Structure formats: structure tokens, C-alpha cells
Structure 1
Amino acid sequence: MYRYAHKNVRPFSAVCQNNYGRQVIFTRKRQITKNNIIEELNKALVIHEQNAIEIEYLDRYYRGDQPILYRQKVNRPEINNKIAVNLAYELVERKTAEMCAEPIQYVLRGTDNHKSEEITQLNITMDSESKQECDIDIHRWRSICGTGYRFIGNDDGQGQLLDESDFSLSSENPMYTFVVYYSNGRPAFSCQIGEDENGADIYYVFTDNEWFDVRNDKIYASGINGNRAIPVIEYPNNARRLSDIEMTIAITDAINVLTSDRINGVEQFVSAWVKFVNCEIDIDTFRKMRQEGALVVKSNNGSDNKADVDVMTSELNQTEGQVVFTDLFERFLSIQGLANRQGNTGGDTGSAVELRNGHYDAGLRTAINEPILKKSERMALRLILNRLRINKGFTLMPSDVEIHINHNKLDNMLVKAEVFEILLRCGINYKRAVKTIDMFSDPEQVALESAKRMEMLFPEEQPTTATPNNNNNDKTADE
């Protein structure tokens, strides 16, 4: 087994011992201080080590290292195809694209012009920090192993050339990062595991008020946490920290076995054995006759035991195999809430196709996942806004900001444009209308750029008194 160290030889159920989902780490302490941080860190590391083993397995599975690649055959071991149909990769990429194909935007609640400019600047700052790239990596980790982490760090003048912000955003590897919680669910402390130049472990720990550099069970350095919040934010995939991969990992393993055996069946049919009945032939003679394409054999005992030569063939029923494969694949799509690629059979409307092929269900699955994501985004937003208030004089509060997760903007564009026109004619504020129709990735920027024209076409204050011309028209009408 040592030759397969850190390889996915065993099924995942054996690695996690059927305890699916990553275990959430809790502390019973009411407050974490320098007096108890070493003890609590060591307790947390015991649980995190098991989580890390499972995370590594799922990450390798996503990259194609799956148990089928280590399968050994006893019967005809020379025919042993190992086909890994990497549905885990497709699953993770589709789940990630549903959330992050478009940048997550911050939208203002209300119509305050000053705050509208601030929120536009906030979106620009996030774009300059490549937040979308960071988001994509976090959501990949969420889908792969059930959780992801964002670290909001200091640039300290060491940022890139012409870096306009004083903070940095990064996605942390969950194998080397974790957060410990109090019993009420509030974060107690975070830990990031690194190495020194000699390969020894370093534990960087943050609480709300302090930071610690822990080495060899001792506090090597410590200081005040100026963020007044833990800068490591956890982004769980769901409350149980279940990864998308492990929900259907038994099905994907079965599909790998079925696909490999179907290829084996074809190869065994092509490489069938030759059967000799009541005759003897040496290997050299057989090889010569096989090259000539004909065999000449004699019976061992005259007409009593007639000689016969035949090819032993037993072809695998590919039709029945396809039925099993289709059933497994449909169950995979159903459990994961993914749409299939079935074509239009004729006569269907667009809405009917969405319902039949699972696009509607996929949208619902994405919708119920959004509040979990927004909760973590709001925790990160509080920390970022606090920095901007101190360093840039921002007045934005978290309650002023609506987190907008963008999806496909090309769907039903004509309908959205018609709804937009109706809303404006009904007297809805143009900023609210732009946000409602969900046509633009950055509705706040669109509203800001369109402000002058919109206010001219649809002024907020309508005239309340009649004009002279209106009076004359009324008088003429009366006459």
C-alpha cells in the first residue's frame, strides 16, 4: 500500500467511514485568549486532520485520481481497461459556473446619490483586486470538499504596482485552513497552517482581538488584530459541509466500473480464445497456421473423437449495458439538480423544455444555495467596509448593500426590456427598475451612467400645478 500513498485506492466510504460531510469544529470555551489558545488549537487539529484527509481525497478525485485506476483483475488480467469518466470535474465546473460565471456585484439599497457613488467605487475596487477569480476558486473548493475560505489580508505597501487598495483577497486551501466556532455558531478563531524554511509547521491563529504565531506548542509571536474581526471567512457549501462530489460518488464509481467493463467486453470479444476439441497441436505450429489464416488438425482417435476447432466468443450485451449507464447517469443528474442536454423532440415551447430537461429545477437548487453564500459574503463585506470607513472615509453600512449574484443575462432579454419599460411608465424609480429586471451585471453602474437621461425622461418630482397652456386648453375645451 505504500506505493499508493496519497492515492485514491480505496472507495471514499472507507476513507470517511461513512461519516459524510466535513466535521464542524467547536470549542467549549467562552473566550479564546493566550492562556488557552494552545490547548484549543491542539484539540481542533485532531478533527481537522481527518477533514484534511477527506478533502485531499475529494480534490484528487476531482482531478481524475479515482479508484477504478487501481483495479486489479484475476480473470484474464491482461485485459483490464481502466476508464475514469470524470463526471466529478464536470459537476464542479457546472456548479461553479452557476454562481460565478458573472461577477458578484454589490447593489445599493435606496437611492442615496452619495452612497451610490461609494458602492460603485466598492465594485471597482473589488474588480481591481481580482475578486471574481478569488470567488471562482472558493466556489470550486466549496463544490469539491464542502467548504472554502477567503482571507482578507494587508498589503502593507507590498502589493502590486499601482495597487489602489490597502487590502488583499485570497482563496485559502481547506486542507491547511479551518475555523473553530463557539457553541452559538459565532467564529472563535481561525487557523492557517504554513511551514518555515526547515519544513516545520507554523500555525497562524486569529481571534477577534489578537493574532498568534504558534510553533512547537508555544506562542512564538502575538499582537493586536486591528480588523476587530477574524479575517478568515468560511464559505460552507451547505450546513453539513457536504461536497457535491461525495453526494453521488458511489454512482460515479459505478459508472467508471461499468464503462471499463464494457470496453473489456469488446476487447475480450476481439481477443477471443481458440478452442481445440479432440486434437493436439503445439504452440509453434499454431502460430504458423494463424499467420497463414488456416488450421489443419487431425482427430486423436479416428471417427470416434472427431476433431474440431472453434473460437470461444461471448459478447457483452451492449444494449443492456447502455440501459444501466443511462439509469445511473439520470440518477446522477437528478440528485445533483443538473439539467440534461436532451434535444427538443418537437412541439415544445421554451418553458416546456426547461421543465422537462431540468433547467427549472437547476435554477431552484441554485436559488436555495444563494442565502448560504450571501451570509459568508456579508461577513467579508463587514470587514472590508470597516477598512474603507477608516482609510477612505466611506459611509456605507452593510445594511445599505444588497449582494447581487448574477446569472445568465441573455435569457428573455425582450421580456426584460418590456418589463423595464412598464415599470418606468408606472412611476417606479429608474434605479429600482434597473435592479429589478436583472439584465445587467452591474446595475448600479448602469443607473449611474444613465442618471441624467433617466431624470430628464422620468423626473422624480412631477409638476403639481397646471401650466398656462393647460389652462388655455381647458378653457377652449369648455367653450
Structure 2
Amino acid sequence: MLYGQNRKSFTSVCHGQLGRYVIYSNAKEITRDNITQELGKALAIHWSNRREIEYLDRYYRGDQPIIYREKKVRPEINNKIVENRAFEIVEFFTAQDFGEPIQYVRRGTDENVSTLINRLNDFMFSEDKGAHDIELGRWRNICGTGYRLVYNDTFADIEMDEAPFGLETLDPRFVFVVYSSGAGKRPLYSVQQVKDEYDVDKYIIKTRNKKFIIQNGKIISENPNYLGINVIEYPLNERRIGRLEVVVTILDAINKTQSDRLNGVEQFIQAFMKFVNCEIDKETFLEMVSLGALNVKTVNPSMPADVSMVSSQLDQSQTQVSKDDLITAIRDVLGMPSREGNTGGDTGQAVYLRNGWDFAEGRAELDEPIFQKSERNSLRVVLKILDGKTDIRLKLSDIEIKVTRSKTDNMQLKSQVLNLLLTSGVEPDRAFKTCNLWSDPEEAYVESKPYLDAKYKTKDQIDSEAAVNKPPPEGDGTVD
């Protein structure tokens, strides 16, 4: 593969090994004595991952092998059509998971926690976390993993409701995390590759308590690291397999099919002219072509002369069937819904189930716990910063990470579910989270609480009524 050109197939680049390698180390602790040696071993694996990530990113952007195809027979007719289904795949799954911002909601029943979590959500909004999540989601879908940096924002103005922390989505081609090979597979250190003012590579390495900068194989800086490893990896799955690579051979086949269809049309239009048992010179042929007719003489009177076109037209209908089969295979493998419309007589829910949207939702739910695990690691750093700079004191166990998707589908059904839960006596905050009507159920509950308290009995009212109606103990307590 030439730099910047996806001339080979992806299976040739990755040698049939799909997914990115997870980098492990046998070291028990990272110190200045072993950091350069550990970095060298890790970079060898990372460079292999980076080559594949670069290929997949270029593939997503339209640099696909069909562009470099060479045709030996009639090379002048060589259409190179990129039907960029890779872009469609990545954008669909990114929109499905991050089209609505990730929200934090309260776990438990402590009302004071709701106020603190709302402030945390406000901080995330001020830091444009929704946009960062979308960029992170694209990388996860393209190459199977993504990285987020959570840093201490020393320029934040707390009084203006600015977050004391910052978020940044990192390019996975230039960052990685190394894990311990022991039990727990905990992160040992992170590595960021950056350029200095002279365009020379240097590596920023963060362990649990140290920050090293290495350049040209030497440690040029060593400082304490109070935030720990604040580069967090967000794998799409345990094996870091992206959406594209599992169907990349089918995507290549679609490009070939579409290109060959146009080649077939063009070759039919530009068919060769065949002369049988007759002779004609070039000048006479060109003159007769300009007139739109030919007058030829038979070379052998015993055999009739014939002039015709050498052509064989591609069966477009059969080609379309083959192409549709490839597209269906992609949707089946990835769990994407089809685009079929309502054929008449179907309800909206029936179309939802028939076209595979329910199956797509199930696939998305499989990815949620893996994302939430990484998100909790980010929250650990965020809460450490908030604990030192604000009056927000939250624990991870107080926060539930809510991955929301489309809130507009089946709104009537969701509203009926909410009403049923409330009238059945389910705690209102829990009912708001269960019905899946809002992207931020915590904020919706807090804003609706005065109206809910006016319509339904509060917990204090229920406890008070229970105390009043409590039956007296047996006997009057006197002695005969």
C-alpha cells in the first residue's frame, strides 16, 4: 500500500487479522528506568494498528481500491465508480448512538443528587460534549476504537458556569493505551504522539502518578501527574473490530459491480465494427462513417459480404439482483434496517419490526455496556477535578449513564407507558427514565416535579398518612 493510497484490499493490509491489537505489558510498574524500553515495544504494535486505521479512515472518506483498478482489455473503457456505502454505514451507526447527547441521570432516591447531576450535565453542555461524542463515535465505527482526553482547564471561569475541565477527542493514529497483562488488565500508561516546533516527534506518556516526555529515545521531562491516566480508550467491542472491516470485501464487490455495469453500457455503445469478406481502407471508412452509411465490395463473389457491430450487452436486470443481494448481505451482517416502505395495511410498529429496526436497536444495546464502562473511566477523572475545584461531590454510584436514541418514534405509546407507570404507583423519577421519552429524563423530572407533586402524593405525604393511620398497639398498657 502506497502512503495515502488504498491500492490493495484491506485483507492484504491486515493479513486476515481483523480488529486492532490490544497492547499489553508485563511490567508491574512504569518508571523512568523502563519507560523508554516499554515505549519501544509498544510502538511496534501501535504502528501495525496505525497502518490499518489509516486505511479504514481513507476508505470511509472514499479512497477505495476500485479507483486504482487497471483494465488490460480495452483499457480506454475503465469506469471507476465508488459507491461509498462505507460512509453510509459509519454515519448510520454514529447517528444511532450519538444523535442525541449522552446524559447522566440519578441513581437512587437522594433528591440532592439530582441537582448536582444537573450541574454536571450543564458543564458537559458548556464543553460541547455532544460534538465530542459524535467525533468519538465516528472513530469507533471506522476503526473499532476511539480515545478521549479529559484535562484540567486552568482558564475556566467557575462563576460564569464554565466547566473546570476540558474534553478532547484524539486521533487514534497518534495515541494508544498500554494495559497490564496481569489480572484486571488495568491501564498502565497512555501515549500521545505530538510534534514540537521543529516538526520532530515527541511522546507524552502518562502513568498513574508520573508524566514523561520522550524525544529521540531520551526522557526530556518528568513531572508529577495528579489526574492519573486521563487518556481513556473507548473500544467498540473487546476485539476493536470496526464496522467497515467485517464487510469490506462486500463493499469492494459492490464497487466492481457498479463500475462493470457502466463499462458494459459504454462497450455496447462503442462496439467494434466487423467486416466479413470485404475490404475498406481507413480514409474511405471515416468518410462513410461521417455520411452514416457504408458501401463495400465483396472480395469473394461466392461468399456474401457482411458489415455488423461486435457487441454483447450486459444483462442489467440480473446485475441489479446481484447488487441488491450484496447490499442485503451488508445489512444482515451489521444489523442495519432495510429501506422498504409501507406496502399497505401495515401499522407503523409492523414496519418497524419488518424492516429490522428492532434488530438494529438490539445490536445497539449490545454496545452500550462497553461504552458505559469507558464513560465511567472518564467520569472518574471529571469527578476528581470537580471535587478539587467546585462544591460538587458525586460518586460514580450516584450516576447512571443514559445512551439515548430517537425520542420521536412511537411517542403516543411512550406517553401511554408513562401514564400507566405513574398511575400504577411507580416512583415518578423511575417512570421518567423508563418510558424513554426524553433525551435528558433527569432534567425533565426536575422541571415537572412541582406538577407531579400537585397531581400525585409525594413520599412525605404517604409516610405521614401511614403514620396517622397506623393502628394502636394491642392493649392500653395498664396493669389490672
Structure 1 and Structure 2 fold alike (TM over 0.5): yes
CA contact 1:143–1:243 (8 Å) conserved in 2: yes
Structure 2 equivalent of residue 139 of structure 1: 137
Q: Which amino acid aligns with 1:197?
A: E
CA contact 2:156–2:162 (8 Å) conserved in 1: no
Mark the CA change 1:202 to 1:281 in structure 2 (over 3 Å): closer, same or farther: same
Structure 1 equivalent of residue 207 of structure 2: 207
Q: Which amino acid aligns with 1:389?
A: D
SS at match of 2:245: helix
Distance between the aligned counterparts of 2:3 and 2:201, measured in 1? 21
Structure 2 equivalent of residue 217 of structure 1: 217
Q: Which amino acid aligns with 2:281?
A: D
Structure 2 equivalent of residue 14 of structure 1: 12
- Match 1:449 to one of 447, 450, 454: 447
Structure 2 equivalent of residue 471 of structure 1: none
Mark the CA change 1:151 to 1:89 in structure 2 (over 3 Å): closer, same or farther: same
Q: How does 1:330-369 map onto structure 2 within 5 Å?
A: 330-369=328-367
Could you tell me how far 1:464 is from its partner in structure 2? 2.5
Distance between the aligned counterparts of 1:188 and 1:161, measured in 2? 36
Structure 2 equivalent of residue 477 of structure 1: none
Structure 2 equivalent of residue 282 of structure 1: 281
Q: Which amino acid aligns with 2:404?
A: N
Mark the CA change 1:270 to 1:159 in structure 2 (over 3 Å): closer, same or farther: farther
Unaligned runs of 5+ in 2: 469-480
SS at match of 2:384: helix
Unaligned runs of 5+ in 1: 468-479
Structure 1 equivalent of residue 477 of structure 2: none
Distance between the aligned counterparts of 1:442 and 1:63, measured in 2? 33
SS at match of 1:221: strand
* Range with bigger deviation, 350-359 or 63-72: 350-359
Tell me if 1:439 matches 2:430: no
Distance between the aligned counterparts of 2:159 and 2:323, measured in 1? 53
Distance between the aligned counterparts of 2:172 and 2:331, measured in 1? 27
- Match 1:169 to one of 167, 170, 182: 167
Q: How does 1:26-65 map onto structure 2 within 5 Å?
A: 26-65=24-63
Could you tell me how far 1:248 is from its partner in structure 2? 0.1
SS at match of 1:244: coil
Structure 1 equivalent of residue 180 of structure 2: 182
Could you tell me how far 1:5 is from its partner in structure 2? 3.0
Structure 2 equivalent of residue 464 of structure 1: 465
* Range with bigger deviation, 418-427 or 268-277: 418-427
Tell me if 1:251 matches 2:236: no
Q: Which amino acid aligns with 1:290?
A: V
CA contact 2:156–2:165 (8 Å) conserved in 1: no
Could you tell me how far 1:447 is from its partner in structure 2? 1.3
Structure 1 equivalent of residue 472 of structure 2: none
Distance between the aligned counterparts of 2:106 and 2:337, measured in 1? 33
CA contact 1:8–1:66 (8 Å) conserved in 2: yes
Q: Which amino acid aligns with 2:266?
A: E
Q: How does 1:40-439 map onto structure 2 within 5 Å?
A: 40-157=38-155, 164-183=162-181, 184=183, 185-227=185-227, 229-301=228-300, 303-439=301-437
Mark the CA change 1:359 to 1:282 in structure 2 (over 3 Å): closer, same or farther: same
Q: Which amino acid aligns with 2:211?
A: W
Q: Which amino acid aligns with 2:173?
A: M
Distance between the aligned counterparts of 1:318 and 1:161, measured in 2? 67
Mark the CA change 1:328 to 1:465 in structure 2 (over 3 Å): closer, same or farther: closer
Distance between the aligned counterparts of 1:259 and 1:161, measured in 2? 59
Q: Which amino acid aligns with 2:9?
A: P
Could you tell me how far 1:396 is from its partner in structure 2? 1.1
Could you tell me how far 1:466 is from its partner in structure 2? 12
Could you tell me how far 1:166 is from its partner in structure 2? 2.0
Mark the CA change 1:13 to 1:160 in structure 2 (over 3 Å): closer, same or farther: farther
Mark the CA change 1:276 to 1:332 in structure 2 (over 3 Å): closer, same or farther: same
* Range with bigger deviation, 422-431 or 180-189: 422-431
Distance between the aligned counterparts of 1:253 and 1:450, measured in 2? 52
Structure 1 equivalent of residue 478 of structure 2: none
SS at match of 2:219: strand
Mark the CA change 1:295 to 1:11 in structure 2 (over 3 Å): closer, same or farther: same
Deviations 1:379-438 (A, max 9, x none): 101110111111112221000100001111112211221221222222222212111111
CA contact 1:59–1:145 (8 Å) conserved in 2: yes
Could you tell me how far 1:337 is from its partner in structure 2? 0.3
Q: Which amino acid aligns with 1:60?
A: R
Distance between the aligned counterparts of 1:174 and 1:331, measured in 2? 29
Deviations 1:260-309 (A, max 9, x none): 001100000011110011111122211111111000000113x2232211
Q: Which amino acid aligns with 1:98?
A: Q
Could you tell me how far 1:232 is from its partner in structure 2? 0.3
Structure 2 equivalent of residue 476 of structure 1: none
Distance between the aligned counterparts of 2:31 and 2:467, measured in 1? 71
CA contact 1:115–1:395 (8 Å) conserved in 2: no
Percent identical residues: 47
* TM-score using structure 1 length: 0.94
Mark the CA change 1:304 to 1:205 in structure 2 (over 3 Å): closer, same or farther: same
Distance between the aligned counterparts of 1:47 and 1:100, measured in 2? 30
CA contact 2:123–2:161 (8 Å) conserved in 1: no
Q: Which amino acid aligns with 1:332?
A: I
CA contact 1:141–1:148 (8 Å) conserved in 2: yes
Distance between the aligned counterparts of 2:157 and 2:145, measured in 1? 27
Could you tell me how far 1:154 is from its partner in structure 2? 2.5
Deviations 1:78-137 (A, max 9, x none): 000000110000000001011100000000012322211100000000000000100000
Mark the CA change 1:289 to 1:21 in structure 2 (over 3 Å): closer, same or farther: same
* Range with bigger deviation, 248-257 or 388-397: 388-397
Q: Which amino acid aligns with 1:464?
A: E
Structure 2 equivalent of residue 473 of structure 1: none
Q: What count of residue pairs does the alignment treat as equivalent?
A: 463
SS at match of 1:91: helix
Distance between the aligned counterparts of 1:160 and 1:428, measured in 2? 37
Deviations 1:420-476 (A, max 9, x none): 122222222221211111101111111111222211221222363899xxxxxxxxx
